[in-house]
Structure 1
Amino acid sequence: MSHPLILLELLENIFSFLAKDKALYPALFVNRLCKDTSGPLYWQLRKFKRVMCGKTKPPYCSKMVYLKLAGLKISDELLSAILHSCPDINFLILDRSHGFSNIPIIEIAKYCLKLLHLSLDACTAITDRCISEIAQSCPNLKYISLASLYRDSNISSASVIEIARSCSNLVYLNLNRQPSINDKSICAIACSCVNLQHLDLSFNEIIIDEAICAIATG
């Protein structure tokens, strides 16, 4: 028997009554069930795209703090419109999303200054410049996930060193399958991010004993 909360009709009814100004209404658009092109949430997502890219933005935009658009095809236009309109975003999750370039990712550094949680797993558009600018502009970041799905990432140790320099409050860092991350950058993380509790370096074969020792004694 299916759990009732996965029913699209029930979700739509619940979220439509949450608040008069629909501050939580965006939850309709971040649920992965919206990938069902025959369901009502798919059409709500299409409506959301038209609204976000239009001249007039709904009132919930300025209050949005959590946004998850995982596994979706997103254009530069839509992602830029979201970032421009939602300055209070604390949690941004774009895992496995595609269709956009590095341009709106760089804009995260300009428009999401309150960011605490950033997850860009398997996003091929990210580059060293993207990560460096985000780290410099969002020093309060506590959670960063940059796992690569096929070890064909565009980021290098330069990104990790900038994270170490700028994000001293970091608690979680995922660098799974990042083939260009070396021991020097990991040593920098060990020295600077003293509050780090979770570090994933799985399948990074060029990291040597020195980096592991630095983590263990840091």
Structure 2
Amino acid sequence: MSSMANECSNLKVLNIGRVPKITDVCATQMMLCFKNLTSLNVTGLNAIRDRVVHHIVRQCPKLESLTLSSCPCVTDVSLVEVSTYLPTIRYFDVSGCKKVTDTGVQAIAMSCHHLQYLDLSSTQIGKRGICLLANYCKETLECVKLSFCKDITEDAVKKMCQNCKRLKLLHLYGCMTIHNVKAIQDVNRKVEVHFDLSVSTSYRIK
């Protein structure tokens, strides 16, 4: 990995997700060479902690897409770092990061006004986080995934659909607090909603 970093300094897209031997030191050192990265995927790496994310976002200012999915050590601190150093990010995935809450989402919502794709599935986001997205990311959001978020409310999701006029796709798989998907449909007929409370089928609104 060190050799690749030294020889491929102009690399723009990097996916090192599920590579078990990546360490926090390795990841940090690699980012020193990748000033031109626009897309980074580190899915499922235990080595990715808040301090590593800090180095990533500072060393890679051109990042438009960042996937931190299923990184168990990522917390709200990482989202604050992203909001501070990558305000122009367009694609952000923290699905499966169990320590992400409304506090982190607030930082993203308040600063990242170019955000188009956001995956918060299986995080601790709740009503407050959804409402913040509805208020501050309403001009850009096109795809939001909230599957298995147990604390979101139907009213908050409706508000997001109503405010976010560019929203096209919404995932609500396993969201047991959502009972009336038709009500969400009535708010914004342009949103394609995928949901399945039993996680066995899907429902598409057109």
Cα deviation 1:36-92 (Å, max 9, x = unaligned): x4xxxx48x85343465xxxx33x32x221111100011222111111222221001
Aligned-partner residue type, residue 134 of structure 2? A
**Equivalent in 30, 47, 55 of residue 26 of structure 2:** 47
1:157 paired with 2:144, answer no
Which residue of structure 1 aligns with residue 167 of structure 2? 196
- 5+ residue gaps in structure 1? 1-10
Q: Distance in 1 between matches of 2:170 and 2:30?
A: 39
Q: Distance in 2 between matches of 1:32 and 1:88?
A: 20
Aligned-partner residue type, residue 26 of structure 2? K
Aligned-partner residue type, residue 211 of structure 1? I
- Quick check: which one's strand share is greater? 2
Aligned-partner residue type, residue 66 of structure 1? S
Shift of 1:16: 7.1
Structure 1 length normalisation: TM-score?
0.75
Which residue of structure 1 aligns with residue 76 of structure 2? 102
Aligned-partner residue type, residue 186 of structure 2? C
**Equivalent in 41, 48, 53 of residue 68 of structure 1:** 41
Q: Judge conservation of contact 1:92–1:119 (CA < 8 Å) in 2.
A: yes
Bigger Rg over Cα: 1
* Structure 1 SS opposite 2:189: helix
Q: Judge conservation of contact 2:44–2:71 (CA < 8 Å) in 1.
A: yes
Cα deviation 1:20-48 (Å, max 9, x = unaligned): xx110773xx323632x4xxxx48x8534
Which residue of structure 1 aligns with residue 196 of structure 2? none
Shift of 1:135: 1.2
Aligned ranges 1:52-201 → 2 under 5 Å: 52=31, 57-58=32-33, 60-61=34-35, 63-73=36-46, 74-148=48-122, 153-168=123-138, 169-201=140-172
Tell me the matched-pair count.
187
* Structure 2 SS opposite 1:173: strand
Which residue of structure 2 aligns with residue 5 of structure 1? none
* Structure 2 SS opposite 1:216: coil
* Structure 2 SS opposite 1:199: strand
Compared CA separation, residues 217 and 173, structure 1 to 2 (3 A): closer
Structure 2 length normalisation: TM-score?
0.79
* Structure 2 SS opposite 1:144: strand
Aligned-partner residue type, residue 134 of structure 1? I
- 5+ residue gaps in structure 2? 192-206
Aligned-partner residue type, residue 10 of structure 2? A
Alpha-carbon RMSD: 2.7
Aligned-partner residue type, residue 187 of structure 2? A
Q: Distance in 2 between matches of 1:133 and 1:186?
A: 19
Q: Judge conservation of contact 1:18–1:25 (CA < 8 Å) in 2.
A: no
Percent of aligned pairs with the same residue?
Answer: 19
* Structure 2 SS opposite 1:118: strand
- Quick check: which one's helix share is greater? 1
